Chains A and B, each alone.
Chain A
């Protein structure tokens, strides 16, 4: 059974249909790259998976559990949504770190609050901190844990944001153009840590315009155009030998 199964997802903003019948699936440990020109609906798709937008139709299932769709009533409680969205993590283009917290505090905040809600913060505090330090170390930030976001470079901020998302142990980690706000120099260091996550079989969906990176790191590439998945498959096929004229046109812009 696939880890993630998205079926016939549709989403409109007022008159414009932004997602038109999106279906795809992925297995545990897969890295899926979503490519496509801007405005094609990539961000909206990730936001639907993370419950920041509510799709109009379709289903989203993780591990066979139906998270969205299936005709349940529209009003789902906040607690329920919070539980469901924790299957996913999201790394934003603009990092969105919390400025009043250090790198370490940014990573510890959500797990600490979750533990407090469960009533076992005291017993878990040390473990949460240790886990956060391990994650920051993996991101190459062990000497930056006590710095505030404004004291960090964009690349470092994005790496803190990745550690922060991983601290909640999502099944699937989503990235929305994680390097688009960065200089080429800083892009490299972020791509490097994402690559290291891929080598450790972290399940990821990565929206990116870095074609060489997508080709390299993805097990599966999805090309989106005007709210549809026009082509999907192994990177060798989609990126090197696209079937669709539109895909060829899009990729020509990156050569």
Chain B
């Protein structure tokens, strides 16, 4: 029985990890783009982006998942997500990327805006280009400042991936829960908890290492 459960949970876990990783791959850069948009001096750019961030952060991810998955089919009578498991996974990924890039963008914005204007001006009077000022002076200071809030958010993402089950993405809790019905046992659910603990534990260690690595300077 243990082997069967482990195999089934590993399958679910694979989906969890895939959703987690792909969300990060797309949401980390997209969040930066959105944060630039939310700081754009042009109102016509800034206001809609801030509105989007407000809507996404102000409503439950669960709701966003449902709307994004079912919305297109019902509103425009188009199945934009494709069929079957992969279609549902794709819809979930889009919802997660949208949601997390808005959260990340606010963390980036806080980090970027916390850099004193004197850092930019010092770069300017030395004749640096805007690009060099951002990449050679500002970026590492921003990274140092955002590692703690980012690690919080990313560890939350590990657990949030379980919400994808609401549109029948077979992640690890789905796999664990199926044994309640089929075999009348609860321990596979605790077992899924162990997966989460190990995964978030590893991430915690990783973020600690990054913080240590950036300890050599003080912002």
* Interface members, chain A 89-114 (any B CB < 8 Å): 89-90, 92, 94, 96-100, 109-110, 113-114
A222 shortest CB reach to chain B, Å: 21
Q: How far is the CA of A168 from the CA of B116 in the complex (A)?
A: 23
Closest Cβ neighbor of B125 among chain A residues: A90
* Contacting pair A88 B128 (CB below 8 A): no
Q: Is B122 an interface residue (CB 8 A)?
A: yes
* Interface members, chain B 119-146 (any A CB < 8 Å): 119, 121-122, 124-130, 132, 136-137, 140-141, 144
- Find chain A residues with CB under 8 A from B128 CB: 82, 109-110, 113
* Contacting pair B125 A113 (CB below 8 A): no
* Contacting pair A52 B136 (CB below 8 A): no
A110-152 interface mask toward B, CB cutoff 8 Å, 1 = contact, 0 = none? 1001100100000000000000000000000000000011100
How would you classify the secondary structure of chain B's contact residues: helix, strand, loop or mixed?
helix
* Contacting pair A99 B126 (CB below 8 A): no
Q: How far is the CA of A160 from the CA of B151 in the complex (A)?
A: 35
* Contacting pair B126 A92 (CB below 8 A): no
- Find chain A residues with CB under 8 A from B1 CB: none
- Find chain A residues with CB under 8 A from B118 CB: 92, 94, 96
* Contacting pair B124 A96 (CB below 8 A): no
- Find chain B residues with CB under 8 A from A78 CB: 129-130
Q: Is B217 an interface residue (CB 8 A)?
A: yes
Q: Is B216 an interface residue (CB 8 A)?
A: yes
Q: How far is the CA of A86 from the CA of B140 in the complex (A)?
A: 25
* Contacting pair A88 B125 (CB below 8 A): yes
Q: How far is the CA of A164 from the CA of B125 in the complex (A)?
A: 11
Q: Is A7 an interface residue (CB 8 A)?
A: no
* Contacting pair A150 B218 (CB below 8 A): yes
* Contacting pair B122 A92 (CB below 8 A): yes
How would you classify the secondary structure of chain A's contact residues: helix, strand, loop or mixed?
mixed
The total of interchain contacts (Cβ-Cβ below 8 angstroms) comes to 65
Given the known A-B contacts A99-B217, A113-B136, A148-B217, are A50 and B125 also in contact in the complex, defined by CB atoms under 8 Å?
yes
* Contacting pair B121 A98 (CB below 8 A): no
Instruction: Using C-beta atoms within 8 Å of the partner chain, give the interface range for chain A.
Output: 20 to 34
A175 shortest CB reach to chain B, Å: 12
- Find chain B residues with CB under 8 A from A117 CB: 129
* Interface members, chain B 99-121 (any A CB < 8 Å): 116, 118-119, 121
B90 shortest CB reach to chain A, Å: 40
- Find chain B residues with CB under 8 A from A97 CB: 122
Given the known A-B contacts A52-B121, A99-B141, are A109 and B126 also in contact in the complex, defined by CB atoms under 8 Å?
yes
Q: How far is the CA of A222 from the CA of B110 in the complex (A)?
A: 42
Closest Cβ neighbor of B144 among chain A residues: A100
Q: How far is the CA of A85 from the CA of B216 in the complex (A)?
A: 32
* Interface members, chain B 134-185 (any A CB < 8 Å): 136-137, 140-141, 144
Closest Cβ neighbor of A99 among chain B residues: B217
User: Which residue of the partner chain, among B125, B129, B132, B137, contacts A85 with CB atoms under 8 Å?
Assistant: B125
Q: Is A165 an interface residue (CB 8 A)?
A: yes
Q: Is B75 an interface residue (CB 8 A)?
A: no
* Contacting pair B124 A85 (CB below 8 A): yes
- Find chain A residues with CB under 8 A from B144 CB: 100
B116 shortest CB reach to chain A, Å: 8
Closest Cβ neighbor of A82 among chain B residues: B127
User: Which residue of the partner chain, among B125, B129, B219, contacts A99 with CB atoms under 8 Å?
Assistant: B219
Given the known A-B contacts A52-B121, A100-B141, A113-B132, are A148 and B216 also in contact in the complex, defined by CB atoms under 8 Å?
yes
Beyond known contacts A85-B127, A90-B125, A100-B140: 5 more, CB 8 A cutoff: A83-B127, A109-B126, A110-B127, A113-B128, A148-B217
CB-defined A-B contacts under 8 Å, sample of 27: A50-B125, A51-B124, A51-B125, A52-B121, A52-B124, A52-B125, A78-B129, A78-B130, A85-B127, A86-B127, A92-B118, A96-B118, A97-B122, A98-B137, A99-B217, A99-B218, A100-B144, A100-B217, A109-B136, A110-B126, A113-B128, A113-B129, A117-B129, A148-B216, A148-B217, A150-B217, A164-B126
Interface residues of B (CB under 8 A from A): 116, 118-119, 121-122, 124-130, 132, 136-137, 140-141, 144, 216-219
